[in-house]
Amino acid sequence: MILRKVIRLLVVLGVVTFLSYVMLNLLPGDPTVQILGMSATEEAREQLRQEMGLNSPLFVRYADWLGGVVTGDLGTSYITDIPVLEALVDRLPVTLELLVVAQVISLALAVPLAVAAARRAGGAIDQALTTLSFGMLSTPVFVLGVVLILVFAVHLRMLPATGWTPISVDPYWNFLSVLLPSITLAVGQLAVYSRLLRTDLIATLQEDYITLARARGLSPRRILWRHALRPSAISLITAIGLNLGGLIGGAVIIETLFGLPGIGRLIVDSIFARDYLTVQGGVVLISVGYVLVNFAVDLVYAAVDPRIRRA
């Protein structure tokens, strides 16, 4: 079971990296132009291509690159001369903090909201949550981010609009600088999570064991939190894993908007600079992260639902 899962995830990793490698290499654009500039002679370009191995067949180049990846060598950027791995590791803590804080905020709000809504489906709280979540789902991150900056940074001057303070420098300022970006990122997730959990809770509340728990005279609060929540959490946990791709997309925009030196910003900058190797490294990092998170999600399933442990 676990072995099969590992193999499947490894295959996914292989295909994703191969596809992205091929696509990035097939796209128009000549790296030699980026390195040597427009005025370089064709001979100089050709020599550089030889040095960089750009003339070997695509598959050979991919195999070379993959061999490097496995040994922890993602290559060195032609543009900045910084090893790709180093650049990524340097930027990773910012993005990780952003993602984790955003997840914590959205889950901390989504779970109680969903429980309150499911208690009286169709009631006032439920309808308010439905309306609110449509609003939240329909607000693009850059719109929300701009509005939040306008309100909290420009008008109220409570929080910094842009910039980043590492946690090692000043934990308090670090918290302030991560707050607005992570709220921006959390809002869309909050809507998705609360809707998902609400729907599953309502389905669980129709089960016999819930009716029997009520027949045993247990309080609605106890029934919702102790009896209904855990059997209803599977879709939510799945969504947390699967949404990581979407979150990274959001992080790219948010890091640009709030001026955070994270992976997303690095990828955007590398794309503009035609820094293929760094972009490719970013893709690898994101896919590895996705695979690891989803592997963890599988382990969490078993903790949440004992029936899965047996399988």
Partner 1 sequence: MPRRLGWTFWLSAGWIGLLLLAAIFADLLPLPRYDETLAGAPQSGPSPAHPFGTDGLGRDMLSRVVYGARVSLGVGIGAVLLGLVIGAPFGLIAGYRRRAADAVIMAVNDIALAFPALVFALAVVAFAGAGLSNVLIVLGVLGVPAWTRLIRGATMAFAEREFVVAARALGARDSRILLREIVPNVALPASSYAFIGMAVAVVAEGGLAFLGLSVQAPTPTWGGLINEGRGIMETAPHIVLAPSFVMFLTVLSFNLVGDRLRALTDVRQSGLEPARPSAATPLPTGEHEVAGTLLQVADVRTHFETPRGTVRAVDGVSFTLERGRTLAVVGESGSGKSMLIRTILGLLPGAGAVSGGQVYLEGREIGDLAPAEKREILGTRFATVFQDPMTALNPVRTIGTQVMEPLRVHLGMDRKRARQEAVRLLASVGIPEPAQVLRRYPHQLSGGMRQRVTIAMALSCDPDVLFADEPTTALDVTIQDQVLRLIHRAREERDLAMILVSHDLAVVSQWADEVIVMYAGKVVERGPAAALFERTRMPYTEALLQAIPRLDDPSHHRLRVIEGRPPDPARLPPGCRFQPRCPYAGERCETEEPPLVRAETPDHLYACWFPVGTGAGIVEGTESRGR
User: Looking only at residues 187 through 246 of this chain, which bind partner 1 when binding is defined by CB under 8 A?
Assistant: 201-202, 205-220, 222-224, 226-228, 230-231, 242, 245
Shortest distance, position 167 Cβ to partner 1, whole Å: 26
Contact by Cβ (8 Å): 36, 45:
yes
Q: Which is nearer to partner 1, 298 or 305 (CB)?
A: 305
Calculate the alpha carbon distances from 148 to 117, 192, 259 in Å: 26, 20, 14
Residue 83 pairs in a beta bridge with 76
Figure out which of the listed residues 45, 256, 295, 298 binds partner 1, where binding follows CB under 8 A.
256
Which DSSP letter does residue 161 get? S
**How big is the CA angle at 68 (ends 59 and 99), to the nearest 5 degrees?**
105
Q: Would you give the binding string for partner 1 spanning residues 108-137, x where CB under 8 A is met?
A: ---------xxxxxxx--x-------xx-x
Figure out which of the listed residues 2, 16, 34, 38 binds partner 1, where binding follows CB under 8 A.
16
C-alpha to C-alpha distance for 94 and 65, rounded to whole angstroms:
27
Q: Could you say whether residue 302 binds partner 1 (CB under 8 A)?
A: no
C-alpha to C-alpha distance for 287 and 293, rounded to whole angstroms:
10
Cα 224 to the center of its chain, rounded Å? 30
Shortest distance, position 131 Cβ to partner 1, whole Å: 9
Q: Which is nearer to partner 1, 47 or 139 (CB)?
A: 139
Shortest distance, position 23 Cβ to partner 1, whole Å: 7
- Judged by CB under 8 A, the chain residues 150 through 189 that form the site for partner 1 are 150, 154
Q: Which is nearer to partner 1, 63 or 242 (CB)?
A: 242
Q: Could you say whether residue 13 binds partner 1 (CB under 8 A)?
A: yes
Structure tokens at 177: 């600088």
Q: Closest Cα partner for 253 from 245, 265, 236, 266?
A: 265
